Amino acid sequence: MLTKLTAAVLALLLLGPMLGLVGIGVLMNPAAANCATPGGSVTVGAVPESLTVTTANGETFTLNRQQLTHAATIITIGGGIEGVGRPGITIALMAALTESTLRQLANTGAYPDSGNYPNDGNGSDHDSLGLFQMRPQSGWGTVAELMDPTYQARAFFGGPDGPNYPSPRGLLDIPGWQHMDPGEAAQAVEVSAYPDRYRNYQPVADAILDALTGAASDGTGASGSAGPAGSVVAAAPVAQSARVVFPLPEGTWVLTSEFGPRVHPITGESSFHTGTDLAAPDGTPILAAADGTVTVAEFSGGYGGLIVIEHQIDGQTVATAYAHMWESGLHASAGDRVVAGQHIGDVGSYGNSTGPHLHFEVRPGGTHGEAVDAAAWLNAHNAADLPEAAVGAPTSCDTPGGTAGEPAPVDGDPDRLVDDPTSDGQITARVAHLVAQARAGFPDTGWACYSPRPGTTSEHPLGRACDITFGNRIGTYPTPTQLEDGWRVTNWMKDHAETLGVEYLIWQGRIWSIARDGEGWRDYDGGGSHDPGDVTGGHFDHLHVTVKAGA
């Protein structure tokens, strides 16, 4: 025994310096350090249409695409924050599943204006809002902030860069959270009256992470490669960007078409151009206008190769979009963090284009925001000196999913029947007027209005309704660009509902009516004849619009 002890002591004496060097090596080796902490990045791939999951208690249910998109937001935000990694993301998913079943809930009883923001339904728990049921009265944020899923995710993770540091505490503000039971860690942030509920959703959180990131990850939080082009990735929080640059190198471009009304260069119809066109030689580098996170990188539809980047500038979220690249000209992927001036793509001429150019858009509010004059925005940020918001000549492209501008009311009797341009039937003059104006502003939309539909309760046989698609087929979910186009048309109709005579809209599992405008978008229950969970029954593949009867 003494001999063994003596040998052990000698070994320690001889190896002591070496062990010290090993320790120093671990400290100096970033890869080794990552293996010891829960930090690292987690990349979200394509979001599936649905995912069937089972809780620890054995309850099985199915999450839809909207819920999984919220999960992708949480994963992406967490993956972009140092020290969170897969363990922290799992805890956040457990919390959001428990609090809202991954639904962005309004609370019109406590805050009527919360219904005016995009939401997945209405909650009624005290004054709680959103995915994590955070309360304005507890200091988590304003109604506007808490109705933003990205803000809620940032608030839950917290930390020195979180929106509420140091209080209310986010996950990173909880001492020793890495060593706590995941359910206890979730409870420490949520301070719920029912702490045991969170553990029940840990298997569900793990299943979501595996499905959205491609495979289970180790404790580092590292996982797989970026998702395929075309997947929408919620933007991770980005640093405030103080610098805005022109999206093409100096001396390489010529302004060819400005923001505003114009004649479509391909169809010859009146339309509204939502971007600024800059002609440049094929292959000219396209530069990120500011620091940010890529939310869309895809090749499809009228935009051709499209990249959208979200930025935080002057305290506000704004997105910039870059279109008409060839497939080989896309040099960024959804989820990438980019910096101002970074080469993200090459000028091309794919889609609705008559020559090589960059179609550049600026969208306040984020990826799906309505475009404003990009020239004016660049000028305001000292990145250009361009003419602003003048009617330009139709020399480059027309934007799929533009905007039809301010509509005019229908002339004469709005209920008189006229020939339906989408079928052999007839529709009211009000519907025909809406179709004509919408098609002029959104030429890449598909329309189906009159339909006999015997044995059903519908406004289609009455000539007062239309279904609209955005390049997708009925029965298939729209691509990210098509979904974006759909929201543009939907918001245009909603914003001008009184002028157009719109009675109600159904889109993406939600319904809005002018009679209940104060409630905002509500969950669509199928109206007694449709399955709201189905791609068509829930109106995930098309927008439905019904116009009113009478003056």
| Whether residue 216 has pLDDT greater than 60 | no
Q: What is the pLDDT of residue 30?
A: 30
Q: Where are the domains of the chain?
A: 2-35, 50-213, 254-380, 417-547
Q: In the predicted model, what is the mean pLDDT of residues 540-544?
A: 95
Q: 255-269, 353-367, 516-530: which range is least confident on average?
A: 255-269
Indicate whether 217 pLDDT > 80: no
Q: What is the mean pLDDT of residues 187-202?
A: 86
Better pLDDT: 301 or 551: 551
Q: Is the pLDDT of residue 502 over 50?
A: yes
pLDDT of residue 198: 93
The three state secondary structure string of 369-435 is: CCCECHHHHHHHCCCCCCCCCCCCCCCCECCCCCCCCCCCCCCCCCCCEEECCCCCCEEEHHHHHHH
What is the pTM (predicted TM-score) of this model?
A: 0.40
Q: How confident is the model at residue 423 (pLDDT cuts 50, 70, 90)?
A: confident
Region 254-380: CATH code = 2.70.70.10
Q: What's the confidence (pLDDT) of residue 42?
A: 64
Q: What is the pLDDT of residue 262?
A: 75
Per DSSP (E only), the strands in 60-216 are 60-64
How many other CB atoms are there within 10 angstroms of residue 61's CB atom?
A: 11
Q: What dihedral angle (degrees, nearest 10) is formed by the CA atoms of 154, 155, 156, 158?
A: 80
Structure letter (DSSP) for residue 452? -
| Long-range interactions of 521-527: CB distance < 8 A, separation 24+ | 521/115, 521/118, 521/119, 522/115, 522/121, 522/122, 523/120, 523/121, 523/122, 527/457
pLDDT in the model for residue 69: 83
Average pLDDT over every residue of 223-250 = 54
Nearest CA among 376, 126, 327 for reference residue 229: 327
Instruction: Give the pLDDT of residue 125.
Output: 77
Residue 401 has which token pair? 């999913």
Q: Which of 132-136, 251-255, 361-365 has the lowest mean pLDDT?
A: 251-255
What counts of helices (H) and strands (E) characterise the chain?
12, 21
